[in-house]
Structure 1
């Protein structure tokens, strides 16, 4: 999607699937431990270099984990699309939608999961949204998407 096209769309719902803020503490501790090990192994390297590099790596990894964005956008010519990362789906291809609560997530991702389904699962996000497709040309039976606010996603898809 180009930037010019993005400005002509109305965003009904937007959510970035960030990692929990408290993950920064274990990431920092792990980076510090590895930096200490590197400092002990490589005495020619200034002590601060390994800390700067590894804290940067830890931040980059957490940022990469959080890069997925869920959006529901209205197109200017009419119609609504569901975007998750780079994939998008017009609502005209949706047969029905449902919320998958945190308690049912294990079953939805376990033996009941269709191998042809499109899944965007983030373990740190509790609930999910199930989007069943009604497109005979698409081999994907449904989308299963992590979201913190499934009620808002479903409301945005219904408008």
Structure 2
């Protein structure tokens, strides 16, 4: 569901990915809202069940859209992951991680100071070293459906800037 695009498709972006929630989350959320409707329609007469269902459906949509709107972008000047942004001059080595390595780095070998943009439905990630001495985060760990492409884009953008 997430999308990454090459340089020529986005103005100024060497890499762009949106970490959208999977379709099954929408299906499960819709079934949950239907369950709420069924429980309320049996217990309360009139338009109330429809109002409650409409509100629940609206909250579901807002929640899933906002959670799935995390973007990972590499452009000529910066690296953005969600709301966080760092200049490429402060970006060190970027390493693509598979699912097992991601679990290890996010769990047992985690550094509490690290910046994390992880999504449970994206099993792979990229570990990006931060070289800015003033930044308390030693690295960023960012979920990606295409971790090698993201690591390559970071390396290329960093090299082009030097």
Query: In the TM superposition, what is the alpha-carbon distance from 1:36 to its structure 2 partner?
Result: 1.6
The SS at the match of 1:116 is coil
* Counterpart for residue 6 of structure 1: none
Structure 1 window deviating more from structure 2 (41-50 vs 63-72): it is: 41-50
Q: Would you say the 8 A contact 1:17–1:68 is kept in 2?
A: yes
Partners of 1:27 and 1:158 lie apart in 2 by: 39
Aligned match of 2:31: 29
Q: Which residue of 2 aligns with 1:51?
A: 53
**Does the Cα contact within 8 Å between 2:126 and 2:144 map onto a contact in 1?**
yes
In structure 2, list runs of 5 or more residues that go unmatched: 1-10, 157-162
Q: TM-score, normalised on structure 1?
A: 0.84
Name the count of aligned residue pairs.
146
Say yes or no: does 1:99 pair with 2:96.
Answer: yes
1:1-159 matches, cutoff 5 A = 10-74=12-76, 80-159=77-156
Q: Counterparts of 2:91 and 2:49 in 1: how far apart (Å)?
A: 56
How far 1:132 sits from its partner (Å)? 0.8
CA distance in 2, matches of 1:94, 1:57: 37
Deviates further, 83-92 or 144-153: 83-92
Separation in 2 of the partners of 1:50 and 1:95?
A: 50
What is the deviation of 1:60? 1.8
**Secondary structure of residue in 2 paired with 1:23:** helix
Deviation at 1:67, TM superposition (A): 1.5
Secondary structure at the residue paired with 2:112?
A: coil
Query: Secondary structure of 1:32's match?
Result: helix
Gap runs ≥5 in structure 1: 1-8, 75-79
Distance in 1 (alpha carbons) for counterparts of 2:152 and 2:92: 15
- Cα distance per residue 1:48-104 (max 9 Å; x no partner): 333333222222221122021110011xxxxx3110122111221122110111122
